[in-house]
């Protein structure tokens, strides 16, 4: 019923042809007359910030880890630059472009179709691939639920058959413009409804019979057809078009570096492997039964319990989930070579303190872990007031024990660093807790520790946590 309501208002908007114009507004700046610093800004910041989609090909979380074609390309490019990667998720192209113009992101990695209209406002990098747009429909015809006259709709076999049909496309996409041009070419009206959903949501709605038609790029349609065998995707509605990343106009240094890297990477064995994994053999990587490409998807089998119980301990359940993945990859029967066990990888002596053992249920293991995190947090609370800073010390202590973290704080204080700040301060001495120069220092009370493990433990959990926040509301 809700789709009928939305459809009513959406069709009303189609009676007046929408103008899809890009208005830079407050973002307008004469960047062509400013010396280009686009690449230097990324290198000096130490982070590449990119925006992409959350869907089953571009960027998603699978079995606890970030994945996706655009994500893997961005990660490889960030490594090429020697910087970190930060992902900003946008499902609406216009929002992504606004963030690019405002400087919040360095590039758009959404696989945009290169069009003349977009080239007036964006610079496109070396093309990722070439594809064409296709109609996505169900095999065997349609119910006519969304037809103008309510009549049965036969299977579309030619663009000419789209006359007087209602086609849903993502808001702000290039598909709307293509369909409006197609109207002129076939000399008949096509009712184009720009819906505030992403491409894959609309494809699933076609497969489930909620709408009859949508349009998308062929390579994306082929991936989704593997998960929805009732789809028909053979009818093209455009000529072949290039798909590419976009940067701001005037970002010549970034574009030049990116073009050179993409041209080499895409034809490399690694580049071909990544493409094939997502577009040629996705079933070898993803299971249709364990993967849900939506923000209502799941990180683990214990998401509901984590949500409920983490709130009781004033912790973000996504952070706890990232910790659990780091410790056990969500395997409740995991046992390490050192004897740590379960989801939270408790050592037997610590487990006894918190009342769990090898036979404890996953829920009991999680609650014990939450109690332990809260205890560590209370021990640091009087020293480190900032909650977002304190969690880094808590995570390090969870991994190596609080004694070694306190040693690293004392070293930081002695050598002129801030003992209440982790990054670039205490973390340096934690990394060097295996260096005799430091673990033999007079302020160190607990000796040697393989602090690099704890350093990586903190970074990996927080990195994954950022991805969980991107894709899980």
**117: phi > 0 → left, psi -120 to 50 → alpha, else beta; which?**
alpha
pLDDT at 32: 42
Is the pLDDT score of 26 beyond 70?
Answer: no
DSSP-assigned beta bridge partners for residue 85: 48
pLDDT at 40: 96
pLDDT at 196: 83
Is the pLDDT score of 190 beyond 60?
Answer: yes
Answer whether 35-129+243-284 and 133-239 agree in fold.
Answer: yes
CATH number of 303-471: 1.10.530.10
- Residue 20 pLDDT level (bands cut at 50, 70, 90): very low
Q: Which two tokens stand for residue 319?
A: 């952070």
- Residue 94 pLDDT level (bands cut at 50, 70, 90): confident
- In CATH terms, 35-129+243-284 corresponds, of 3.90.209.20, 2.40.50.140, 3.40.190.10, 3.30.9.10, to 3.40.190.10
What is the residue extent of each domain of the chain?
A: 35-129+243-284, 133-239, 303-471
Q: Which two tokens stand for residue 382?
A: 């009087």
- List pLDDT tens digits, range 326-348: 999 999 999 988 889 999 999 99
pLDDT at 299: 86
pLDDT at 286: 56
**Which has the minimum average pLDDT: 39-48, 134-143, 189-198, 314-323?**
134-143
- List pLDDT tens digits, range 69-80: 999 999 999 999
83, 42 Cβ separation under 8 angstroms: yes
pLDDT at 324: 96
pLDDT at 340: 92
- List pLDDT tens digits, range 379-399: 999 999 999 999 999 999 999
DSSP-assigned beta bridge partners for residue 170: 195
Is the pLDDT score of 16 beyond 50?
Answer: no
Q: Give the residue, 339 or 29, on which the prediction is more confident.
A: 339
Mean pLDDT across the chain = 87
Strands 166-170 and 191-195: parallel
Is the pLDDT score of 197 beyond 90?
Answer: no
Class of CATH domain 133-239: alpha beta
46, 82 Cβ separation under 8 angstroms: no
What angle, 0 to 180 degrees and rounded to 10, lies between the N-to-C axes of helices 218-227 and 199-207? 50
- Residue 29 pLDDT level (bands cut at 50, 70, 90): very low
- List pLDDT tens digits, range 416-441: 999 999 999 999 999 999 999 999 99
* 225-236 average pLDDT score: 90
Is the pLDDT score of 294 beyond 50?
Answer: no
Q: How far apart are CA 92 and CA 198, in angstroms?
A: 7
């Amino acid at each position: 019923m809700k789709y009928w309501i939305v459809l009513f208002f959406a069709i009303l908007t189609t009676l007046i042809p929408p103008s899809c114009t890009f208005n830079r507004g407050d973002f307008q700046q004469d960047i062509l007359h400013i010396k280009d610093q686009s690449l230097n800004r990324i290198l000096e910041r130490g982070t590449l910030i990119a925006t992409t989609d959350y869907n089953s090909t571009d960027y998603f979380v699978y079995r606890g880890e970030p994945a996706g074609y655009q994500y893997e390309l961005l990660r490889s490019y960030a490594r090429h630059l020697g910087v970190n990667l930060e992902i900003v998720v946008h499902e609406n192209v216009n929002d992504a472009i606004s963030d690019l113009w405002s400087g919040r992101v360095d590039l758009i990695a959404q696989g945009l179709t290169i069009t003349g209209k977009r080239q007036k406002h964006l610079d496109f990098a070396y093309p990722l691939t070439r594809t064409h747009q296709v109609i996505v429909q169900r095999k065997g015809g349609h119910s006519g639920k969304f037809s103008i006259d309510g009549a049965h709709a036969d299977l579309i076999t030619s663009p000419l058959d789209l006359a007087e049909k209602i086609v849903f496309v993502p808001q702000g996409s290039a598909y709307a413009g293509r369909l409006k041009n197609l109207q002129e070419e076939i000399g008949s009206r096509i009712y184009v409804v720009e819906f505030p959903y992403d491409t894959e949501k609309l494809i699933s709605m076609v497969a489930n019979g909620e709408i009859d038609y949508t349009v998308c790029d062929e390579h994306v349609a082929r991936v989704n057809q593997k998960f929805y065998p009732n789809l028909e995707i053979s009818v093209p509605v455009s000529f072949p078009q290039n798909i590419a990343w976009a940067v701001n106009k005037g970002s010549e240094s970034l574009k030049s570096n990116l073009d050179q890297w993409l041209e080499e990477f895409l034809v490399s064995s690694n580049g071909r492997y990544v493409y094939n994994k997502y577009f040629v053999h996705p079933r070898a990587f993803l299971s249709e039964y364990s993967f849900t490409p939506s923000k209502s998807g799941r990180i683990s089998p214990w998401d509901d319990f984590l949500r409920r119980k983490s709130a009781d301990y004033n912790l973000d359940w996504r952070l706890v989930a990232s910790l659990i993945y780091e410790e056990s990859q969500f395997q409740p029967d995991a046992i390490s070579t050192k004897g740590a066990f379960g989801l939270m990888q408790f050592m037997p002596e610590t487990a006894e303190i918190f009342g769990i053992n090898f036979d404890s249920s996953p829920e009991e293991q999680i609650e014990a872990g939450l109690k332990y995190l809260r205890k560590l947090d209370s021990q640091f609370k009087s020293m480190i007031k900032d909650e977002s800073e304190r969690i880094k010390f808590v995570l390090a202590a969870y991994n190596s024990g609080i004694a070694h973290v306190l040693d690293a704080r004392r070293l930081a204080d002695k050598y002129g660093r801030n003992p209440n700040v982790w990054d670039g301060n205490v973390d340096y001495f934690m990394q060097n807790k295996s260096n005799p120069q430091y673990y033999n220092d007079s302020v160190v009370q607990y000796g040697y520790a393989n602090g690099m493990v704890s350093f990586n433990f903190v970074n990996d959990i927080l990195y994954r946590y950022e991805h969980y926040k991107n894709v899980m509301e």
